Structure 1
Amino acid sequence: MGIRGLNALVSENAPRAIRSSELKALFGRKVAIDASMCLYQFLIAVRQQDGDVLTNEAGDTTSHLMGFFYRTIRMVNYGIKPCYVFDGKPPVMKGGELEKRLKRRTDAETKLKEAKESGEVEEMHKFQRRTVRVTRQQNDEAKKLLKLMGIPYVEAPCEAESQCAELAKAGKVFGAASEDMDTLCYQPPYLLRNLTAAESRKLKIDEYNIKEVLKGFEMPIEQFVDMCILLGCDYCETIRGVGPVTALKLIRKYGTLEKVVESIEEDPKSKYKVPENWPYKEARELFLHPEVTPGSEVELKWTEPDIEGLIEYMVKENGFSEQRIRDGAGKLKKALKTGTQERLDSFFKVAGTRSSGTKRSAEEDGKKGKKGKNGKAKRRK
């Protein structure tokens, strides 16, 4: 679900924190991608003309395999080194949200059945997408494919978004790619949205700079997280009647959720009612101190793809075109063998901070780098 209304609030209060660009702007970057989010995207978006998912001869779904294969190749061809992070065990506090999702999916299945009986094609397609559920088998199939492609993946102990953020904070990757805005609460240097969908849907990639986000709101991360919890997150329900504008106003006025709750409970005329046993403190802890594998313990390695292994798995086992898989694997091999060149800005220490609205060439950045004895700009260590 993410954080309700957060994107609009960031756009209004910290516009300099957001930069929109094309995929090629990430040339030379390593990026940690929320694989669980990708699985949902691919199962929903990669469909046959009649709206049904792709399947092999055995009837098993293969839409996710096609999505991971081709969109990963596209990123690598743009000079991006992706690594995928898979969800681990969800936090106990997320149980309520998962129950709601199950109920919504069950309701959609009922409406899908009704649409089929009445022959309403558009309604069928709509509810088919709402019934999508990612299985453990599909997770394992995606991991097997990535291994054959030579693309690293990480199994998070808990939430994929928090592990992506940890890899970014540890300097293993440039940023965390996810559609969930709650990723900002885990403080990755950069959050990337629309990364896996940008090319196919002609979308721009939105890059969020967490330092600029906090600067725009004039808040430390603790206060920002409190605001996000008040907006509504996966870990606890909201205070009914408190929307984005009110949530921001309350946090700015009282500073912390403790004081917001206290002000509501002590005011007999308050129109707001705090849910009984509201676990906002536990939610805050999950955002500020998530369960992750330390980035220093994670090694990311991109290797040459196993082309014959890909043919065996994608063609013989799952019915994809051999020529297309060979062509795709050849492009992947060439791109990975060539290696992702270092971005020019990684060789220089740039004076000042580039704002989201300022475009500056790499050559201009280089001229402002610190110089060594030989008069050339020093490389960053």
Structure 2
Amino acid sequence: MGIKGLTKLLADNAPKAMKEQKFESYFGRKIAIDASMSIYQFLIVVGRSGTEMLTNEAGEVTSHLQGMFTRTIRLLESGLKPLYVFDGKPPDLKRQELAKRYSKRADATTDLQEAMETGNKDDIEKFIAMVLHLYFQFLYYKRGIITWLYEVNFYLFQVYAVASEDMDSLTFGAPTFLRHLMDPSSRKIPVMEFQVAKVLEELNLNMDQFVDLCILCGCDYCDSIRGIGGQTALKLIRQHGSIESILENINKERYQIPDDWPYQEARQLFKEPLVFTDEEQLDIKWTAPDEEGLITFLVNENGFNSDRVTKVCY
């Protein structure tokens, strides 16, 4: 989810912090890419379009491999240097959220089966997207590959920007954040670039207040206060300055505060995420493709066209 409604909130209140860019404008730039989100993105596009999932001889889905392969080629041909980032197990607060999503996935699967029986195309599309989304989020939990891309990458990898679809990249402090970089070229959607410094300037908030705003809007680590949407959250933060002050002054009858609301823990995760910081062990290099490895994985194991894969290596 990232931060609920943050894109619209910024469009309404900080439009100068957002600008459309052409894909080709990032020529020569090193971009840290949210690998897990990109993989999910290619699966969900197939689900929504109703196209049959690509599989290898073993019946394993390869649609995401096709999407990543095609998009990586386009990135390289456009002169970009992609750095795909994964990470370890999710924090405890994220585990709780993912457990809820696993439960919801079972309900969504049942709804999808019913929609397919009735032939309602709109419902089929909706529930395919929901099942894929919840399933992939659960895979993150099981495999421990929740991504942490944020500000540390700008210092350790010296990349220009973070590319993801999760708006909480801004909440973690990524100075430059890109959305839609990994969208299929057929969608013809421009890249949307956000500058966190401009966001703070436009909203007239400091970084601590922006983090609290995002928690109030709704994030992956705790529930939000019922009745408070983005605009109300922004108004309250501007008026009171922090969640603590808001809780002291809020109308408890009008706004329902969750029991044992872990907003402080969520705040801590945004401000001090668990990241790999041993710079001495980092040796990031952009080298020629591993032709033998690509052929083994893509052609031999997953049925890709040999000529197409070989051509990319030269």
Q: Same fold, TM exceeding 0.5?
A: yes
Out of 47-56 and 197-206, give the one that drifted further.
Answer: 47-56
DSSP 3-state at the match of 2:32: strand
Q: Tell me what 1:80 maps to.
A: 80
Q: Is 1:287 aligned to residue 270 of structure 2? A: yes
Q: Tell me what 2:33 maps to.
A: 33
Inter-CA distance 210–101: structure 2 relative to 1 (3 Å threshold): same
Pairs within 5 Å for 1:1-381: 1-46=1-46, 51-120=51-120, 123-132=123-132, 133-134=135-136, 159-160=146-147, 162-170=148-156, 172-197=158-183, 199-264=185-250, 267=251, 270-294=253-277, 296-297=279-280, 298-330=282-314
Q: C-alpha separation between the residues in 1 aligned to 2:75 and 2:263? A: 38
Question: What count of residue pairs does the alignment treat as equivalent?
Answer: 309
Structure 2 regions of 5+ residues with no counterpart? none
Work out which of the two has the higher radius of gyration on C-alpha atoms and give 1 or 2: 1
Q: Tell me what 1:351 maps to.
A: none
CA RMSD for the aligned pairs? 2.5
Q: C-alpha separation between the residues in 2 aligned to 1:294 and 1:198? A: 33
8 Å Cα contact 1:38-1:196 kept in structure 2:
yes
Q: C-alpha separation between the residues in 1 aligned to 2:49 and 2:260? A: 49
Structure 1 regions of 5+ residues with no counterpart? 141-156, 331-381
Q: C-alpha separation between the residues in 1 aligned to 2:237 and 2:48? A: 47
Q: C-alpha separation between the residues in 2 aligned to 1:113 and 1:203? A: 32
Q: C-alpha separation between the residues in 1 aligned to 2:236 and 2:121? A: 46
Could you list the runs of 4 or more consecutive aligned residues of structure 1 that deviate by over 6 angstroms after TM superposition?
Answer: none
Out of 60-69 and 10-19, give the one that drifted further.
Answer: 10-19
Q: C-alpha separation between the residues in 2 aligned to 1:46 and 1:307? A: 28
Q: Which amino acid aligns with 1:271?
A: R
Q: C-alpha separation between the residues in 2 aligned to 1:6 and 1:123? A: 26
The alpha carbon displacement at 1:96 in A equals 3.2
Q: Which amino acid aligns with 1:42?
A: F
Inter-CA distance 74–273: structure 2 relative to 1 (3 Å threshold): same
The alpha carbon displacement at 1:296 in A equals 3.1
8 Å Cα contact 2:177-2:194 kept in structure 1:
yes
The alpha carbon displacement at 1:313 in A equals 1.9
TM-score (norm 1): 0.75
Percent identity between the two aligned chains: 46
